[in-house]
Structure 1
Amino acid sequence: MTVGLKRQLGIISAISYVTGGIIGGGIFVSPSSVLSGAGASVGLSLCVWVFCGFISYCGALSYAELGTRIKKSGGSYTYVRAAFGDMAGFTVLWAQLFVVRPLAAVLGSLVTAEYIMRPFYLECPGLAPKSAKVLLATAILAFIVACNCYSVRVGAGIQTVSAVCKVSALIVIIAAGVYHLIQGHNENFRDPFVISNLNPGDFTMALYAGLYAYVGWDHINNAVEEIIQPQRTMPIAILGGLAIPTVCYITANIAYHAVMTNQEILSGVAVAVVFGERMLGPLKWAMVPCIGMSAAGIANVIIFTSSRLNFVGGRDNVFPRFLGMVNAESRTPMPTVLLVFAFSLVVVSLGDVKSIIGTYSFVRALPEAVAIIGILRLRRKFPDTHEVYKVPLVFPIIFVVFFMALSVTAIAYQPAKFLVPLAIVFLAVPAYLISVSDWWRKGPSISFNATMVTICRRLLLCQLAEAPQNLM
């Protein structure tokens, strides 16, 4: 018996996934990295936030077209494969499985752990034990994985609550900052473009930190098959879901700089805790769980979308077939959810938020840029209909040119940091050639898939999913 995914996500849930996927750890940890990379210039750091929002809109508008032109789950993988073939699609899946998604899930859980522990080490954040952060982050990941295995609706509910907590926390921060400014405390904005030290390598990291905060505008593209009326819901969810965090980020950073000095912002990643100490009095203790839930929502989005990405790869026989299975009762792709969890457990031991942000942003943007490059080819392959949103070409061009320039600069100034994950990504080429060889397909592949399918059927009560028809 074969089963498939069910359309259960409406406009509110879709916007919640986009907004919730964007607003999370980034706005609460990136300000210190952005300010540091911008030479401790308040004015330049605010310009970075505005510019990163604009670049994200260029990518989001491009993905709105891709999502309505190809109404099939899988996000970047589906678009790259449709434009450039199976090997390119496999490379995207490989990068997502081994690098991008585990890093993203771990970042969300580590930021949550950071904020939970920071109040106990407020005066000396460097003394917070790394092992405790890792264990707490692992427990958070395990809880999120269990929820996503149990029900799509439970995961969506968590995301909606998370989105409310995130926006509420930001509203409090913004309101407190505006109140502080109204009282005449604008001394931190005097001489905003005075730069202490600026070089291309550090400024590149500032841009990557800013882009990390906006990550998530493409999450809903990974679950198109579960969205009700995707041709209407997709553009609204992407554009509306991105508008909320863009406004929040710019005003929140103004609030941060209004209340805190540069030294306080640069003191650690948990800037909102320091902000609460300065401005919120007893209310600061309510901010910690809100921000923790905010960052945990990022991990929830990643687990949800990653599992759908690998599920589509398994269903399409690009990845092992057992990954294309869903639980017969909950209709969740349980094998892929557990696989993402397994790889995340390997990465979580790194335990350092700042060291992960740049690498994650760099590798994550690669398949997005390739997918956007393929828009012209996909327009010829899948002609326009009344259901397709068509983006003006200037936005894809801006996104791709910016990505290429930023990548070249990053590799030139910090080759060790960025060439290693890039090499892992390109290991996908020999892996793909092995996977399509007669030796693999006629021998090990058959026995391995048969064994895993049997295990998933008996232990996880899963069945092979069938591909929907006429989605492209």
Structure 2
Amino acid sequence: MTDTPTPKVATTLKKQFGLVSATSYITGSIIGTGIFISPTVILEGMGSSVGLSLLVWMLSAAVSFCGAMCYAEYGTRVKKSGGTYTYIREGFGDLAGFIYLWTNLVLLRPLSVALSVLVCAEYVMRPVFLACPDLAPTAAKVMLGFLVAGLFVVGNLYSVRLAANTQTIVTVCKVTALSVVIVTGIIHLVQGNTENFNGAFKTINFKPGGVVLAFYAGLFGYTGWDATNAAVEEVIKPYRNIPIAVFVGLAIPTLIYVLANVAYHAVLTNDEILSGIAVAYVFGERKLGVFKWVILACVAISAGGNVNSNIFIFSRINFVGGRDGLFPRFLSMISVRRRTPQPSIIALFIPTTVFMCLGDVKSVLGAYVFFRVGGECLAVAAFFFIRRKHAAADTTYKTHWVFPGIYVVSILMLSVTAVVDDPGKFLPPFVIILMSVPLYYMSRSRWWKRLHLNTVNKWITLICHRLLLCEHASQRIE
């Protein structure tokens, strides 16, 4: 009698995210550096008008909500992880999917992580250089940024559960700190200090380019509502948890952002807000006394939480791209023991270190948001294609068709205005992105696969297998 061979267990990502974890990832991804950088940019772009600045925050939330509702349906209709990449590929094919993967790899995610860790380093070092914060050595900020990014990379390599719990804790810290700001500002208003709101809609030096940058800063503040969609395959009961997580995860930051900005404007004058990005620190100096150090710590934690969520999202996008065969296959390898996409996580850390060496990436905020929301706009534009391609089930969440229409039209209007106003700012990133087109066709050709690149891919796969104990992910999605 011959022994029946034991069937091989599929190597897949494990379902570990419940409603709380999924909501925390979205809320934690949104509440980060944006609330501490964007107020200055928005107020300046709207001609120092307090009323118009608050209106930008609310309109940015409304536009983000329209896109998020489309993703809520995608999460219950398309059973694949990958988020924006998956939806672009499902709607427009492999070439469009590859272009988005390339843009994320060389531009978007490394910039986002570098921005977060540098802001974190800026606030951590501010107490050391209290008298002269502008004299803090750039090299010291970069080295501290390496340490922060490295800690979160190790955490994501070690355990999905550890990364998720970290994100939950970080989210609680963020909400608590901003709640202190909000309560302090409301008390200040109740005491009758409303002079900063006199002439709220009066503008100074109002320009179209500034308005676009203000809206981009507002949208930057709300980026992150796509976090859970990047890991649909790891969400427990996605048909229920994803729509709730998307709605609640975006509603909480919206309420907090509007109230926090009311508090900022109630306590601080326009000149104080426009003096620099450290709005929360200036607020703490004015109203919180020694508790201003708590604000510094909370800003650092918020920025660190953004690093954690970016590592989580981007590693899943690269993982799915490798599994689909558009990116090198070693990116789709999973640690057999940890069930984390370790090669994909490490692949994010390498280009991030390059951008961190620049020392300051805040000057490219407009270009970053332009291409970030541009990808999401393309994914939302595929709304009706995806509906035809993936039939709805009884558990599929359905959103109204007006939401994708509003989102696409709004983003297109901003994008066209931005390019017309300052085309030189977007030319270099466009060139980098267009490089992906010949790369895609070269990677599809037979002669390319016969070159040394294939050998390099095999060696990296072997190293991941031997050192990281990783295996290729199963093509079957559970």
Work out the CA distance in 1 between the residues paired with 2:124 and 2:413. Answer: 37
Does residue 408 of structure 2 align to residue 400 of structure 1? yes
Q: Which amino acid aligns with 1:49?
A: W
Q: Distance in 1 between matches of 2:367 and 2:258?
A: 24
**Please, which moves more after superposition, 405-414 or 235-244?**
405-414
Q: How does 1:210-249 map to 2 (within 5 A)?
A: 210-249=218-257
CA deviation vs aligned residue, 1:128-185 (integer Å, no higher than 9, x gap): 3322222211211111101111111111111011100100011000000001111111
Q: Confirm or deny that 1:19 pairs with 2:27.
A: yes
- Of residues 213-222 and 284-293 in structure 1, the stretch that sits farther from structure 2 once superposed is 284-293
Q: In 2, Cα distance between the equivalents of 1:117 and 1:198?
A: 35
State the shift of 1:121 in Å: 4.1
Alignment partner, residue 88 of structure 2: 80
Aligned counterparts of 1:252 and 1:210: Cα–Cα separation in 2: 14
- Report Cα offsets for 1:86-133 as digits up to 9, x if no partner: 111111111111111101111111111121123444554433332222
- 8 Å contact kept, 1:111–1:353: no
Partner of 1:324: 332
Q: Is contact 1:114–1:270 with CA below 8 Å preserved after alignment? A: no
Instruction: Map residues 164-203 of structure 1 onto 2, 5 A cutoff.
Output: 164-203=172-211
Structure 1 residues 224-274: Cα deviation after superposition (integer angstroms, max 9, x where no partner): 111001111110111110000000000000000000011111111111011
State the alpha-carbon separation in 2 of the partners of residues 191 and 121 from structure 1: 37
Alignment partners' CA distance in 2, 1:247 and 1:18: 14
User: Match of 1:463, SS?
Assistant: strand
Pairwise mapping of residues 390-429 of structure 1 onto structure 2 (< 5 A)? 390-429=398-437
Q: CA deviation at 1:38?
A: 0.8
Are 2:327 and 1:286 equivalent residues in the alignment? no
1:126 aligns with 2:139: no
One-letter code aligned to 2:437: V
Partner of 1:52: 60
2:76 is aligned, of 47, 59, 68, to 68
1:327-338 pair list within 5 angstroms: 327-338=335-346
Deviations 1:201-227 (A, max 9, x none): 111111111111101000111101110
Letter in 1 for 2:460: M
Match of 1:38 in 2: 46
Partner of residue 448 from structure 2, selected from 427, 440, 450: 440
Name 2:460's counterpart in structure 1.
Answer: 452
Q: Helix, strand or coil for the counterpart of 2:334?
A: strand
Matches within 5 A, 1:304-319: 304-319=312-327
Is the Cα contact below 8 Å between 1:107 and 1:356 reproduced in 2? no
One-letter amino acid of the counterpart of residue 205, structure 2: N
Q: Does 1:108 align with 2:105?
A: no
Unaligned runs of 5+ in 1: none
Paired residue secondary structure (2:357): helix
Are 2:269 and 1:261 equivalent residues in the alignment? yes
Residues 388/75 of structure 1: CA separation in 2 closer, same or farther (3 Å cut): same
Question: For residue 476 of structure 2, what is the aligned residue in structure 1?
Answer: 468
**Runs of at least 5 residues in structure 2 that lack an aligned partner in the other structure:** 1-7
Which residue type is aligned with residue 263 of structure 2? A
Task: Quickly say closer, same or farther: Cα 1:123–1:402, change in 2 above 3 A.
Answer: farther
Deviations 1:359-383 (A, max 9, x none): 2111111221111111111111112
Question: CA, structure 1 residues 45+123, in 2 after alignment: closer, same or farther (shift >3 Å)?
Answer: farther
Please tell me the residue identity of whatever aligns with 1:446: N
2:102 to 83, 91, 94: 94
Aligned CA-pair RMSD: 1.3
Match in the other structure for 1:205: 213
Equivalent position of 2:125 in the other structure: 117
Q: Distance in 2 between matches of 1:57 and 1:124?
A: 41
Residue 427 of structure 1: CA displacement? 1.4
What displacement does 1:445 show?
A: 4.4
Find the counterpart in structure 2 of residue 371 from structure 1.
379
C-alpha distance in structure 1 between counterparts of 2:184 and 2:235, whole Å: 37
- State the alpha-carbon separation in 2 of the partners of residues 353 and 99 from structure 1: 11
SS in 2 for 1:350: coil
Residues 266-288 of structure 1, C-alpha deviations (whole Å, 9 max, x = no match): 11111101100000112222222
| Contact 2:44–2:274 (8 Å) recurs in 1 | yes
Inter-partner Cα distance in structure 1 for 2:397 and 2:130: 49
Distance 1:119 1:262, change over 3 A: farther
User: Normalization by structure 2: what TM-score?
Assistant: 0.96
Q: Which amino acid aligns with 1:414?
A: D
Asked if 2 retains the 8 angstrom alpha-carbon contact of 1:118 and 1:273, the reply is no
Counterpart amino acid of residue 3 in structure 1: T
**Superposed displacement of residue 36, structure 1:** 0.8
1-side partners of 2:109 and 2:55: how far apart?
28
Q: Could you tell me how far apart the structure 2 residues matched to 1:126 and 1:410 are?
A: 30
